[in-house]
Chain A
Amino acid sequence: MSGFTCADMRELAPELALGVLGGAERAEAFAHVEACGSCRAVVSDLTDAAEALPLIAREAEPPPGFEGRVLAELGGRRRRIRFRWAAVVAATAAAAAIISIVIVRVVDRGSDDRRAAATAVWSAPMVDADGTDVGWAFVSDGRPASVGISVSYALPAGTYTIESVRGDGATLDLGKLTVSDGQGAWAGTAPTAEGDLIVVRLLDVSGDVVCTANPSV
């Protein structure tokens, strides 16, 4: 607890909520609030009002080309981050490949049936009818196959049927995916005794396909 009393804190709470308290006082105030639930509640209430204040500013049209410049900068930063991640992923994939080879060779020394336990994976974006990526699907070709789906935006809220297509042409109903506020995720398994999964897709309540993950496209 800081040297501030609760009475001191009530005096300073508005300035703390508005973010305009000076350095030393702010540090002491934070220390007090950290340890005092009632003062924390007071500051929290006032912060709600303080954070609404910027809404009062008038809207203004940005200069022509603003959106494009923001998106270009976003794209550039994403590529830089993706490049860094790609290096990490490549290193991880190389390590995983080495481990897989070792595992398969060890399994090969045993029964042939155990080779089925060796697992490969594909992942692909889930693409809607407009060609927009709305999420991702991940599939292993183990027995049974593990399937993971995530959609992060763009689909209306609701429940979708998860359907997969096997290499032998059979379609499988894997279950239901619920999308709430643009987000949804599902993980489960699919029987693949007669053929690997080649497509995973979501169907709406009418049975229409709303998006598909197909690694061969």
Chain B
Amino acid sequence: MWSVSDDALLAGLATGDPEAASAFVRRFQRRVFGLALTIVGEPRAAEDVAQEAFLRAWRHAGAFDARRGTVVTWLLTITRNLAIDAVRVRRPITLDPDAILGLDLAGAERLPEELVALRDDADRLAAALARLPNEQRRALVLAGLMGRTAREVSEVEGIPLGTAKTRIRTGLLRLRAALVSEERAE
């Protein structure tokens, strides 16, 4: 029954139907909990964040605009923001960006033609990140995934503030260029 699109399932969640809510949670819970756990680093706190993310999604489903993005990126943005808030309230944690991703990015660099063959969004993103210089990738993951400001990135990485800003900026610009060129290649 639930072969419906993510958008339609979100609409069902918004109407308050228990079956739609159940299907929505089942479809996204691994992603939501995984992201929360990645950022807060502790299962109990991650569960609290993940639960609140689904409640926020239900409450704000009417604000979702399919023209601006997908349901999963919208839901993960909610999760990320909640997780970052939770981390800031509890304690600042310093995790290694590559360990956070659980990907051997340094050893997983792919050739461009292999990149084109990838279809899954997460795989495409991982491949694009893998092509970034290590220091830019670390700065980008710390800022973009963990919510660290440029000053915090400079402290974690032991580099000047200006260097941290440059790495974040260059990393995101390159990531965007890689994703756009890959879309065009398709």
Contact = CB atoms under 8 A, between A and B. Distances in A.
A54 B80 contact: yes
Interface residues of B, number: 73
Interface string A1-45: 000000000010111011111100000000000000000000001
Contacts of B80: 54
A54 B58 contact: no
B73 A182 contact: no
Contacts of A77: 55, 58-59
B154 interface: no
Contacts of A55: 72-73, 76, 121-122, 125
B184 to A, nearest CB: 14
B149 A22 contact: yes
Contacts of A66: 29, 33, 47, 50-51
A153 B15 contact: yes
B76 A54 contact: yes
A56 B29 contact: no
Interface string A47-71: 0111111111111111100110111
Interface of B: 1, 4-5, 7-9, 11-12, 14-22, 25-26, 29-31, 33-35, 37-39, 43, 46-47, 50-51, 54-55, 58-59, 69, 72-73, 76-77, 79-81, 100-103, 121-122, 125-126, 129, 140-141, 143-145, 147-151, 165, 168-169, 171-173, 175-176, 179
Given A59-B30, A182-B5, A182-B12, 16 more contacts: A18-B172, A19-B147, A53-B125, A54-B145, A55-B73, A56-B122, A56-B129, A57-B34, A57-B101, A60-B30, A71-B18, A71-B21, A77-B59, A152-B11, A153-B8, A154-B12
27 contacts: A14-B171, A15-B143, A18-B144, A20-B144, A20-B168, A48-B69, A51-B69, A53-B125, A54-B145, A57-B34, A58-B38, A59-B31, A59-B33, A60-B34, A61-B33, A66-B51, A67-B22, A67-B25, A69-B51, A70-B51, A70-B55, A71-B18, A73-B51, A73-B55, A132-B19, A153-B20, A183-B8
